Structure 1
């Protein structure tokens, strides 16, 4: 058997071992009505070479696990990805990932497979999740020929929906961290940002339970209605 299997124009060339790992990746679990404290969730943060969804690349992935209503500090994911063909923009001044660190990072296919195995079938949480979702989806498609189907919940939406009294309609992670008195150790570092996002998510889940929203299914239904109201108010 050839070391590589080619997909011609349909996808990247992968080692047979990588194809096997890709084939065994877990399918996402459907959203259910189980209590939030019984859910396993993965909180994700990406650092990227810039903000262009079509051209920029994922440079690092940080993730932590929420399970049993708590952050499992024993299960964290952190990885810097090699990005040999990407010119680094001004974002390097924000995330601090030097070209030498990126050159010494993990090979992209292996890093993305490692993350997807860490993720399993769990839903994802992120702050401004739309950006992370699209960047991760493009990276998986380009490097693995894999389609991302896991549901994402945006903590930047959950926070103003569940805490309207805060009057922070379009706040960033720093705004909400200050509001709840959370300590941010190192901003714009994927693992540190994922950890503070997870801490914020646990606070929001507590608020959700007080509002009788004690499942991902219930949160999704409330979010759908909240988004419709936001669109109406925007006109």
Structure 2
């Protein structure tokens, strides 16, 4: 849920975005959604360092791949072995990436005030907010959408007690969506975008 601006401004610790991104607080009136995924050095939202970041716009039933954001972040962070086994981003793979500050700046310019969507989006939200706080002193004011929550609401509308496989692969399988380059940021955003489109189609039917 996105809090009204007047209420956000009354919250303790509230800080507005700098002028460059002041428009992010304005209500969004379009139909686009930005699907986001982050890969990090470890699976801890308080410590994980950003290693890659991807975002793609979903406009209606179209995925705007030609304008997708797909960034590898230059980082000397020591990567937890479990994380490497998932996303395969070793330290030597990140030598020619962009600086984390540049990645966040490009992301903020890309997303604007559009809603942000993802799978396990609270993790990505926490990582991105940590960086925006450190760099610019504010947190993302955008509305956030969790794909698995839409899925659960639709499934339990008809069978309240149904057991659901809420893994990424489980949703993809049930929605008949291809899993594309799993655990690469761009692959995950494309698969998640396809899930979102399928779920929106079901809700409209």
Superposition TM-score tier, normalisation by shorter sequence: 0.7 to 0.9
C-alpha separation in 1, matches of 2:84 and 2:201: 36
Residue 168 of structure 1, CA deviation = 5.0
1:23 aligns with one of 13, 16, 19: 19
Aligned residues: CA RMSD: 2.0
Partner of 1:47, secondary structure, is strand
Residue 71 of structure 1, CA deviation = 1.3
Residue 31 of structure 1, CA deviation = 6.0
C-alpha separation in 1, matches of 2:54 and 2:196: 16
Distance 1:96 1:118, change over 3 A: same
Q: Which structure 1 residue ranges, 5 or more long, are not aligned? A: 1-20, 33-37, 211-235
Kindly tell me the number of residue pairs found equivalent between the two proteins: 184
Partner of 1:60, secondary structure, is strand
Instruction: Please tell me whether residue 139 in structure 1 is matched to residue 131 in structure 2.
Output: yes
Deviations 1:102-153, CA, capped at 9 Å, x for gaps: 2321011111101110111101001011111111110211233332111111
Deviations 1:182-219, CA, capped at 9 Å, x for gaps: 11121000000000000000011112223xxxxxxxxx
Partner of 2:53, secondary structure, is strand
Partner of 1:59, secondary structure, is strand
Instruction: Please tell me whether residue 205 in structure 1 is matched to residue 196 in structure 2.
Output: no
C-alpha separation in 2, matches of 1:154 and 1:31: 18
Runs (4+) off by over 2 Å: 28-32, 143-147, 163-170
